[in-house]
Amino acid sequence: MGWYQRRLAKSLWVFHVSGSPCNNCDIEILDLLTPRYDVERFGIKLVGSVRHADVLLVTGVFNKKVAPRIRRIYEQAPKPIFVVAVGTCVSGGCCFKESYNTVPVREEVIPIDMYIPGCPPKPEAMIEAVAKLIGVLNG
Amino acid sequence: MNGWTFFYLLVFPGLLFTAVLGLLVGWIDRKVSARVQYRVGPPLLQNFNDFFKLLGKETLIVKEGVRSMFVLAPLVAFGTTVLIATLIGMPLFEKWLSGFNLPIASGFDGDLIVIMYLLMIFSVMLILGGSATGNVYSSLGAGREIKLLIADELAFILVCLVPIIKSGYTLRLSAIVTAQASAGAFIGSVSGVIAFIIGILCLQAKMALPPFHIAEAETEIVEGPLMEYSGPLLGFWKLNQLMMYVFFPLLLIVLFCGGFNLQGWGILWAVLKYVGIVVVLVLIKNTNPRVRIDTALNFFWKYLTPLGLIAMILAVLGV
Amino acid sequence: MDEFKQFRELFGTKIGQVIQKPRRLFFVVKEEHLLEIVKYLFDGIGCRLSTATAQETYHGLEILYHFSLDKAGIYFCPRIVISDKQNPKVLSITALVPGAVWIEREMFDLWGIEFVGHPRMEQLLTLNSPENPNQPLRFGRQA
Amino acid sequence: MTGNKIPVGPFHPLLEEAEYFELKVDGETVVDIDMEIGWMHRGHEYISEQKTFTQSIYLVERICGICSTSHPLACVHAIEDIDNIEIPLRARYIRTLVGELERVHSHLLWLGLAGHFIGYDTLWMWAWKYREPTLQMFEAISGNRNHYGMMRVGGVAKDVDPAIIPDLLKILDEIDRKMEMIAKAAKDDPVLKSRLVGVGVLKKEDAIAHCVVGPTARASGVAIDVRKDEPTDAYDLVNFNEIVLKNGDVYDKLVVRVLETIESNKIIRQCLEKLKTVGGPILNNVKEITPGEGIGRYEAPRGEVFHYIRSDGTNRPVRHKVRAPSYVNIPSFVASCKGIPVADVLITLAAVDPCYCCTERALRVVDAHDRPFELDLQRLSRTKTEQIRREIYGK
């Protein structure tokens, strides 16, 4: 495992992309920053611009109006970038699959590396996912 | 330019020493801020990880931006930072280095003026870097950076004038240090204390720490001028900002607290002086929210600059 | 439920089939009486327009307005049936109830019902969405 | 300051939701406001028609993440309204308990975000730190932090185990203490008071004209509260008072929410006491729903949630209309945002606590002669707070 991957694993900068969610996963992501589940211990920081991001936290089942913008956000991010899908909506479309206004396959819009199922996934589950992501990086 | 100048430039008071110390001191800042908010805060080597990670990332350059300036700005800024660190570091560690009878390049007449110009160049580079991208948020941030620069530059010059006057109108840092060695640290006198306090606030603005981090307001205009930077260029910008944590307190120590005498107990006293200034900066950072740009402007001009003039007059009177 | 009794005496002739439940009153209204009844409900006894439901039935497009009289915790629900399904047109009540702007725009967006006199008749939810799902909730909808 | 045309997309870094506002500004004051929504539209009503009644209760729970028991409650009330189904006493208490607990956690969440917008990050951290015990209680009762899946037609799905009630009460005492502290911090802080009083006033006539519901209406003097007007579940068995204030500015909306959280704590305490003693079944299972129409209402943290269900005897709803409270609260921005300085727009938009959190931070502002320029509401809002603090403390 390269020395560089270990460095990347220890300092993941996160950017939050919300694609028409029910804003429960977004609140759980913000919960991670609050004192109880503070993720800055792992060197994870919420950054303001896509250019600084290492991890795109994507939430919500994309509806047709939001999908092209999420595509553009993904193209703007510097590689290597990881896309972590938070919640069942992104992972499997949850209960909104049959709707006329949602994109059937989300992997066409944005390639997803890691799925965190759960509606909403518990903050502990998200921290465990981050640990796995670090593990994957550490080889 | 014998080999030793390169050593001074690149290793001891220059690049390596300042970078490593800057990354360590940056950790103190993040840890204290986290503790203020009941949070745990990052591990010790977090800034090192951040910097090396950024080195490995891909650099995206905006198509319609001015490509050359976009790339050049952080490198030139990095160069000026290293130069400033060496210029300030030399007079401080002169005696200690002479102990190992190394040839000393102990600065030249007027190096304080050169430092002021180099600091100006750093801000100008940030402005050019921001506006080179053509991104609206960045140009907005660059505009604010200019206003901030105008605001604190005048006050900073007055702050530097006080030690010059008190040490018999010399423009040489090492001469100021020797003058203080004989006449006692300038902070002892009334004008020295006033100038020191204004100096701290100017540092706050120059290093873009809250409450004056208007240009890179993270939650508002998306990291300001640094928005379009990614990868190594962003890494250099972040390293520059962290290196400021080192050479700005050292500058204040040289100007007001009589530099270091690193024999026996002197070392403890030197470390205490340095850490004291850093803690003051961090405390100011954590206690007040962001200030609007025009509030910052009239704060600097309406309060600090007249205060600086008074301090200068007192210094002339010899108080 | 004296409000119901009082309402039925007043408008007995103008309303068609009525379904009365402990706290709900559903009644069919013809289009020309709509504004008069809405005026009575909204300004007269101070009801609040909660929302309006559009529904496609075999004998035409049906709009069910829901007025809530909060003091008594009851609902008045006038119902209009539009027989012409190709381009349904109804009088807009935004003049009386400013809060109905979005409600009617949503019905135009999802059901294609044209509201005459609406200040800004355009789509609400699928405005400049890449492919326009025009009137997704109608029978002839393609999922 | 005029800038070139800026594609202010709906994505802003710290924004939970994608929203898009457009203000016409004349100098410093707002002349007109226009909103474009639709980023969240997932077509609930269309999907709900293909699901059975029990399935649509789960679907309806996922409409909004932070008031996620209000929609199932209203939906269940609607189905029960079709045949006037009665539910057992213990189920009524459990429903009220879950509903009020959610009001506490939703109001605390809003309080934290409001502090965040006007530059008080410590208030944000405090409010969200003391919101965690409420979520702990939820995990104890229903096993999940937000989507609880508690509601069924004719009762409740999970029973509250009497053994855990004592330590639920312990957590509740802790929340009460902290709530007093937060209430004092939020209400008596001179900077907050002078920052929010008289900002974004929604007059009573405007509130009635725009048919506004919930705390937004109660702060403007319109006394509507479904818990008092049409008390279903156990709201007629518990005593609590309804908070109505007069002058409808952002400060009153904050005070209404803070006092309501304290009231909700009282209700929760009474429900927990009753649940110790009241026994009996928690669900009388309903075999089939007769054809007909039903209207269900519930007082969500943001206002009255309205569900209309029409069934034709099968086990699938023919038509399921949902109207969230923010649907009527948000258009009231037109009335409350006119003529106020741009710096106050953000906190006024947030004061309605829009259910899909459309708290847009950057927006496209069009100046008098239609030249758009970029303006960041959050920065303006924070710096105005700073300005007022400077005046008060004379720093």
Position B154: which residue type? Answer: L
Which ipTM value was assigned to this complex?
Answer: 0.75
DSSP, residue by residue, B164-220:
HHHTTS---HHHHHHHHHHH--GGGSHHHHHHHHHHHHHHHHHTT-TTSTTTT-SSS
Q: Do chains B and C meet with 3 or more Cβ pairs nearer than 8 Å?
A: no
| Domain total of chain B | 1
End-to-end Cα separation, chain D, in angstroms:
29
- Residue reference for tokens 């496609």: C56
Nearest to B95 by CA among B87, B106, B85: B106
The per-residue pLDDT for B223 is: 63
CA–CA separation, C84 vs C97, rounded Å?
A: 25
The per-residue pLDDT for D394 is: 67
- Give the residue ranges of chain C where pLDDT is below 70: 1, 127-137, 139-143
Chains with 3+ CB–CB pairs under 8 A to C are A, D
CATH code of residue A32: 3.40.50.12280
The per-residue pLDDT for D362 is: 33
Radius of gyration of the CA atoms of chain A, in A: 14
DSSP, residue by residue, D328-350:
HHGGGHHHHSTTSBGGGHHHHHH
**How many CB contacts within 8 angstroms connect chain B with chain D?**
48
Mean pLDDT of the region B27-35? 84
Position C134: which residue type? Answer: N
Nearest-neighbour CA in chain A from C22: distance (Å): 35
Contacts of C128 in chain A (CB under 8 A): 65
Local confidence band at B214 (pLDDT 50, 70, 90 cut-offs): low
CA–CA separation, C61 vs C46, rounded Å?
A: 28
CA–CA separation, B237 vs B226, rounded Å?
A: 8
CA–CA separation, C64 vs C80, rounded Å?
A: 7
- Any residues with CB less than 8 A from the CB of B281 and at least 6 apart, and which? B29, B200, B203, B204, B207, B209, B245, B249
Query: C128 to chain A: nearest residue by CA?
Result: A65
Chains with 3+ CB–CB pairs under 8 A to B are A, D
Contact call for residues D354 and D326 (beta carbons, < 8 A): yes
Fold exhibited by the domain C2-86: Beta Polymerase; domain 2 (3.30.460)
Nearest-neighbour CA in chain D from A87: distance (Å): 12
Contact call for residues D385 and D120 (beta carbons, < 8 A): yes
CA–CA separation, D113 vs D76, rounded Å?
A: 31
3-state helix, strand, coil in chain A (%, to 5): 45, 15, 35
Nearest to D378 among B140, B220, B291 (CB): B220
DSSP, residue by residue, D23-84:
EEEETTEEEEEEEE--TT---HHHHHTTS-HHHHHHHHHTS-STTTTHHHHHHHHHHHHHHT
Contact call for residues B116 and B160 (beta carbons, < 8 A): yes
- Any residues with CB less than 8 A from the CB of D162 and at least 6 apart, and which? D275, D276
- Residue reference for tokens 């974004």: D200
End-to-end Cα separation, chain A, in angstroms:
5
pLDDT tens readout for residues C60-75: 888 888 888 888 888 8
Nearest to D16 by CA among D384, D355, D244, D381: D355
pLDDT tens readout for residues D177-190: 888 888 887 777 77
pLDDT tens readout for residues D308-326: 888 888 888 888 888 888 8
A67 touches chain C (CB under 8 A): yes
**b/e burial code for range B232-256 (CB count within 10 A of at least 16 → b):** bbbbbbbbbbbbbbbbbbbbbbbbb
pLDDT tens readout for residues B87-120: 888 877 777 777 776 666 666 777 888 888 888 8
D63 touches chain C (CB under 8 A): no
Q: List the structure tokens of D46.
A: 């269309």
Nearest to D386 among B38, B140, B291 (CB): B291
Phi (first) and psi of residue D87, to 5 degrees: -120, 150
Contact call for residues B174 and B167 (beta carbons, < 8 A): no
A96 touches chain D (CB under 8 A): yes
Phi (first) and psi of residue A58, to 5 degrees: -105, 130
Position B85: which residue type? Answer: A
H, E, C per residue of B76-96: HHHHHHHHHHHHHHHHHHHHH
Contacts of D346 in chain B (CB under 8 A): none
Local confidence band at B7 (pLDDT 50, 70, 90 cut-offs): confident
| Domain total of chain A | 1
What domain range includes position B44? 3-317
Nearest-neighbour CA in chain D from B168: distance (Å): 36
pLDDT tens readout for residues D236-257: 888 888 888 888 888 888 888 8
Fold exhibited by the domain D44-326: Cytochrome-c3 Hydrogenase; chain B (1.10.645)
Distances (CA, A) of B31 to A8, A40, B202, B287, B289: 20, 10, 23, 15, 18
Q: At what angle do helices D89-117 and D132-142 cross, to 10 degrees?
A: 150
Cα angle vertex A95, ends A93, A98, to 5°? 80
- Give the residue ranges of chain D where pLDDT is below 50: 1-18, 356-374
